[in-house]
Amino acid sequence: MIDYIWLVPLLPAIGVLLNGFLGPRLGRGFVSWVACGVVLGAFVVSLGVWQSLLALPPDSRIVDHTVYDWITTDTVRVPIAFRVDPLSVTMILVVTGVGFLIHLYSTNYMWDDARFARYFTYLNLFTFAMLLLVLANNYLLMFVGWEGVGLCSYLLIGFYFDRWSAANAGKKAFIVNRVGDFGFLLGLFLIFWYTETLTFGTAREPGVFQRIGSVDHGIVMAIALLLLLGATGKSAQLPLYLWLPDAMEGPTPVSALIHAATMVTAGVYMIARSHAIYDLTPEVRNVVAAVGAVTAIFAALVAVVQNDIKRVLAYSTVSQLGYMFLGVGVGAYAAGIFHLVTHAFFKALLFLGAGSVMHSLAGQLDMRKMGGLAKYMPITAGTFAVGWLAICGIPPLAGFYSKDAILASTYANGNMLLYGIGLFTAGLTAFYMSRLFLTTFYGPERIELGDEHHGGHDAQAHDVDTSVTDAHAHEHGHAHDHGHGHDHAHDHGHGHAHPGHTHVHDDGSVHVHESSPVMTLPLVVLAIGSIVVGFILNGISGGFMPHEPTLLQSWLAPAIGEAAEHAAQGGMGEGMLIGLSVLAGVIGIAVAFFFHTQGWFYGAQRTPVGEVLDARFGYDGLLYAIFVRGGSALAQALWAFVDVVLIDGVVNGVGYLIAQISGALRLLQTGYVRSYALMMLLGAVLVIGWYLTRLG
Amino acid sequence: MIGVPLEYYLILSGILFTVGVVGVMIRKNPIVIFMCIELMLNAVNLTFIAFSHRWASFDGQILAFFVMTVAAAEVAVGLGIIVAIFRQRHSIDVDEVHLLKG
C-alpha cells in the first residue's frame, strides 16, 4: 500500500481540476461529491498506508517513494519524492481526516454562496498543497507545498474579496508570510550551500540530516534560526502572529481547516521534521521554546478581552500553537505533534461550532449579542462543550493529555520560568474559553441577529425563522430545502429597519434553529475525536509513569528520534505535574463561572487593563507605525526625491537638452538650394585650404 | 613650351569657376544655375586639358571626357526635375522650393 502514496496528493489535485474547470457548469451537487469524495479517498489511502507502515518493523518505517525526477543537474538533484514515515503519516491522517469533515460541513455552510465551485476548488487545492508539504522528502518540495498553502490561505481569506476588510486581510496574511518565507528560503540556501543537497536523507542515502553534523556550529545555528523565522510566519507566532486574527475574514470552515487545524501547524511540523538540525543547537531550541511560551501567554491575554467569537478562537489558536512551539522547543517533538493532532480535533470542532452559531444568527459574531443558545441548538452546544473542556485540559479529553505532555516535558527540561508561563496560560485558556462558552450558550439571552455586512456571505441565515419580522424581511427568490421557505433574516433591510435588539422572549417572536445534519454530523464526529484521540494516542499508562513513553511517542520514534522527554528527574513527580495542570484548568473555569454568575462578562465598560490587552500591548500599533506608516512615508520620500527629482529630472533633462540642440541646428536647414550650395562651397574651401596650408 | 603659358589657362579657369560659383549663389532661375554649373565643370575641364598638355599625358583629356558625360547625364536628370516641379507649381523659382526648411 505504501507504493500508492502518490494517490494521496493526486486525488485532491484531480478534485481541483474537476471542480475548477467543470464545477461551475455541473452544479453544486457535483462539486460537493467531487470535493468531499477525493478527500475521503485520500483519507482511505492514508489509512491503508498507515496500516502497511505498521506492518513493518519500527526500524524500517522510513520509506522514500520517488515519483519523478524533477530537477537533475550535475550539482543538484531534487526528485518529486514522498517520505512515508510515522510523522508524515500522522500528518496526512489529520489533514485528510479532519479535512474531509470540514469539506462535508462546508457543502452545507457554503451552499448559498454564488462562488460555491470556486470555494471547493480552493479547498481541494489547499488539501493538495498541504499533503505535498507534509509528504515531501526534500526541503524544496516542502517549500512548494509551503507556498501552495500560503497561496490558498490568501485566496480563501480574501474569498469575499468584494468586502474591503477581507481583501485587506488576505493581503496582510500574504505579506506577513513573505517575511517568514524569506527566512525559510535563506535557510534552504544555507543548507544547500553547506550540505550540497536538499533531500532529508536516510541512513542508506545520506542527505541533509546526515551531513548537517559536520557543518560548522555557527552555520547550523543560523540555519535553525532562519527556519524558525519561517515557522513563526506560517504558524503565527511572535513576532509574525499579526495576520492570523485578521484571517478570520474568510469563511468559517476555512478558519477551521486552514487557520486552526492544518496549515498553521506547518511550522511545528517543519521544526519536528528538522529535528536533526535543532538537536544540534540547543541554544536555538531554547529560542523556539521562549517564542512559544511568550506567544502562548500573549495571545491568551489578548483573547480574554475579545468579543468577536471567531477572534477569541483565533487568538486561542495562536496561543495553542505557542504551546506546540514550547513543546518542540524543549525537545519534546512527540509532545508538540501530539498537541498538534489533538488541537486539530478540538479547535476544528470549536470553529465549526462557532460557524454553526453564526449560521443560525445571520452572521452574528459578537458574543455580547448571543446568550442562551444552548436550548435552541442542543447539538452545537453539546459538541462545543466537548471542545471547550478539551481545550481547558480537563481529563480524560484530548487536550488534557497533550497539554500535560508538553508541560511535563518543559518541567523535565528544567526551565521553571517557561513551565510557569505554560501553567498560567493553561489557566488563562480555561478562563477565556469558559467566558466564550458561557456567554454564547448560557446567560441572559441578548440575541441580536447579524446583518449581511458583518458576517458577509457567512450570513446565510436560512435557519432563522423570522416570521414576526415579515414586514421587514423580503422574500428570497429561491427557497432552500432546509430554509422552510420563510423569509431570511440577512436581507439588507433587516439590520437597518430593526436597529434595536431582536430579543428572544416568551412571546416566541424568534426561533433559533439547530443547524442541519450535514453540519452537525462533522461536529459530532469531531467531538468524539476530541474525547478519545488523546486517550488513544497516549496509551493506557504512557506519560503517567516516569520513563514510560506515550504511544504516539513510540510510534513517532523512528522519524524524530528518542528525545529525552519525560525524564522527570527529582522535583515534582508525574502525579503532581498532572494535578497542577488540571488544577490550573479548573481554577480558570471556576473563575469564569464566578464572573458569569456576577454578570461581569456583560458589562459594557472597559477597564484600563482591558484596553491595554485589546491593543495587544501596543505591539500591533507599534508595527503598524513602523512598517505601514514608515513604509508609506519612505515610499512617499522615495517618490518625491528619487522618482520626481532624480529619475524624472534625468529623463526630462536629456529630452530638454536634445530639443534645445536640435532647435538650434534646425535653423541651418533653410530649404533654399543656394544656401546649401554656399555651405558646400565653404566646405570645399575649408578642405582645400587645409590641404594647401599643410602641404605648403 | 610654345604659345600660351600654363598660368594663363589656370587664371582663365579660375575666373570661369568663380563666375560659375557666384552665378549658382545669386541667380534664382534654375536654368541659369545649370548653365553656371556647366561653366564650373568646364573650368575644371580646362585645367585638366592644360595640365594634360603641359605634362604630355592623356590622363587629363580622358578625365575631361568623363566630366562631359557626367555633366550631360546631370543636365538630363536636372531638367527632368525642373519640368516636374514646373508641372506641380507653375514656377521654377528656386527660392519658392523650400519644403525641406527645418
CA-based nearest distance B59→chain A, Å = 22
Question: DSSP class of residue A366?
Answer: B
Instruction: Return the pLDDT at A463.
Output: 36
CA distance A176 to chain B (A): 59
Question: Nearest CA of chain A to the CA of B28: how many Å?
Answer: 9
Cα dist from A332 to A130, A164, A367, A402, whole Å: 23, 42, 36, 11
Nearest-Cα distance to chain B for A650, in Å, is: 27
All residues of chain B having their beta carbon less than 8 Å from the beta carbon of residue A673 are: 33, 94, 97
Report the helix count and the strand count for chain A, using DSSP H and E.
28, 4
Q: Residue B94 is nearest to which of A665, A668, A673, comparing CB atoms?
A: A673
CB-based contacts of A242: which residues, under 8 Å, 6+ apart?
A172, A176, A236, A620, A623
Judging contacts by C-beta atoms under 8 Å, the chain A residues touching residue B97 are: 671, 673
Nearest one of A78, A203, A93, A191 to A136, comparing CA atoms:
A78
Residue A69: its H or E element = strand A63-72
* Domain parsing of chain B, residue ranges: 6-96
Smallest CA–CA distance from A663 into chain B, residue: B102
The confidence band for B45, taking pLDDT boundaries of 50, 70 and 90, is very high
Q: Three-state DSSP class for A71? A: strand
Q: Are A252 and A354 in contact (CB under 8 A)?
A: yes
Q: Output the DSSP codes for A367-434.
A: GGG---GGGT-HHHHHHHHHHHHHHHT-TTSHHHHHHHHHHHHHHHHT-HHHHHHHHHHHHHHHHHHH
Inter-chain contact B25–A667, Cβ cutoff 8 Å? no
Out of A665, A666, A674, closest to residue B94 by CB: A674
User: What is the reported pTM?
Assistant: 0.75
Nearest Cβ partner of A671 from B21, B26, B99? Answer: B99
Q: How far apart are the first and last CA of chain A?
A: 103
Inspect the interface and report whether the beta carbons of A669 and B100 lie closer than 8 Å.
yes
C-alpha–C-alpha distance, residues A198 and A185, integer Å: 12
Distance between CA A230 and CA A211 in Å, rounded?
22
> Which of B22, B92, B94, B99 would you mutate first to test chain A, the one with the most A CBs within 10 A?
B94
Residues of A in contact with B21 (CB under 8 A): 681
The secondary structure of A452-491, three-state, reads HHHHHHHCCCCCEECHHHCCCCCCCCCCCCCCCCCCCCCC
Contact across the interface for B102 and A671, Cβ inside 8 Å = yes
> And the C-alpha cell for A11?
486525488
In Å, how far from its chain's centre is CA A581?
27
Task: Give the Cα separation of A519 and A531 in Å (integer).
Answer: 19
**DSSP β-ladder status, A77-84 and A63-72:** antiparallel
DSSP letters spanning A120-156: HHHHHHHHHHHHHHHHBSBHHHHHHHHHHHHHHHHHH
Q: What is the DSSP letter of A72?
A: E
Cβ of B97 and A673 within 8 Å? yes
Decide if A671 and B21 are in contact by the 8 Å CB cutoff: no
- B27, closest residue in chain A (CA to CA): A674
Residue indicated by cell numbers 491595554: A612
Say how far apart CA A254 and CA A467 lie, in whole Å: 31
| Distance in Å, alpha carbon of B65 to nearest chain A alpha carbon | 23
pLDDT of A562 reads 60
In the predicted structure, residue B70 carries a pLDDT above the cut 90: yes
Distances (CA, A) of A184 to A100, A139, A225, A337, B31: 29, 10, 9, 20, 86
Q: Which of A622, A600, A584 is nearest to A304 (CA)?
A: A600
Q: Which of A469, A450, A490 is nearest to A366 (CA)?
A: A450
Distance CA A87, CA A556 (A): 6
Q: Cβ–Cβ contacts within 10 Å for residue A605, how many? A: 5
pLDDT of residue A28: 87
As assigned by CATH, the class of the B6-96 domain is: mainly alpha
Residue A145's nearest CA partner among A312, A12, A51, A18 is: A12
| Sequence-ordered alpha helix ranges (H) in A330-395 | 333-360, 378-392
Interface of B with A in 36-95 (CB under 8 A): 94-95
Compute the distance between CA of residue A98 and CA of residue B102 in angstroms, rounded to an integer. Answer: 79
Q: How far is CA A292 from the centre of its chain?
A: 16
The DSSP-derived string for A496-548 is HH--S-----TT---EEPPPPHHHHHHHHHHHHHHHHHHHHHH-SSTTTSTT-
Are B21 and A673 within 8 A, CB to CB? no
Q: Which of A98, A50, A485, A88 is nearest to A262 (CA)?
A: A98
CA distance B99 to chain A (A): 6
Beta strand spans in chain B (E): none
Of A228, A194, A225, A227, which is closest to residue A212 (Cα–Cα)? A194
What letter represents residue A184's amino acid?
Answer: F
Give residues with Cβ within 8 angstroms of B100, minimum separation 6. A669, A671
Q: Are A200 and A259 in contact (CB under 8 A)?
A: no
Residue B40: half-sphere exposure toward Cβ, Cα within 13 Å: 15
CB of A663 less than 8 A from some CB of B: no
Interface test with B, best of A666, A669, A674 (most B CBs within 10 A): A674
CA–CA gap between residue A422 and residue A407 (Å, rounded): 7
C-alpha cell at A174: 500574504
Residue B27 DSSP code: -
Separation CA A349–CA A530 (nearest Å): 8
A113: nearest Cα among A523, A462, A467: A462
Q: Is the dihedral of CA A460, A466, A472, A473 positive or negative?
A: positive
Mapped onto helix, strand or coil, the DSSP state of residue A411 is: helix
What pLDDT, on the 0 to 100 scale, is given for residue A687? 94
Query: What DSSP designation does A175 have?
Result: H
Phi, psi of A64 (to 5 degrees): -100, 125
* Length in residues, chain B: 102
| Nearest CB to B25 within list A666, A671, A674 | A674
| ipTM score over 0.90, yes or no | no
Nearest to A451 by CA among A504, A497, A494, A502: A494
Phi, psi at A364, each rounded to 5°: -70, 130
Nearest CA distance, A648 vs chain B (angstrom): 29
What is the C-alpha R_g of chain A? 31
8 Å CB contact of B98 and A666:
no
CA dihedral B41→B45→B47→B52, nearest 10 degrees, is 160
Determine, for residues A670 and B101 on separate chains, whether the beta-carbon distance falls below 8 Å.
Answer: yes
Q: What is the pLDDT of residue A602?
A: 67
Q: Return the ∠ at Cα A372 (arms to A371 and A378), rounded to 5°.
A: 125
Q: Which residues of chain A have pLDDT under 70?
A: 451-511, 540-548, 562-573, 602-606, 696
Q: Is the preceding omega at residue A239 within 30 degrees of 0, hence cis? A: yes
Beta bridge partners of A308: A366
Q: Is A673 on the interface with B (CB under 8 A)?
A: yes
| A contacts of B102 (beta carbons < 8 Å) | 665-671
Quote the cell numbers at residue B23. 552665378
Q: In this complex, do B95 and A669 lie within 8 Å of one another by their Cβ atoms?
A: no
Measure CB to CB from residue B95 to each of A665, A666, A672 and give the nearest one: A672
pLDDT confidence of residue A658: 94
Cell readout for B87 is 508641372
Say what the pLDDT of residue A100 is.
93
Distance from CA of B29 to the nearest CA of A (A): 11
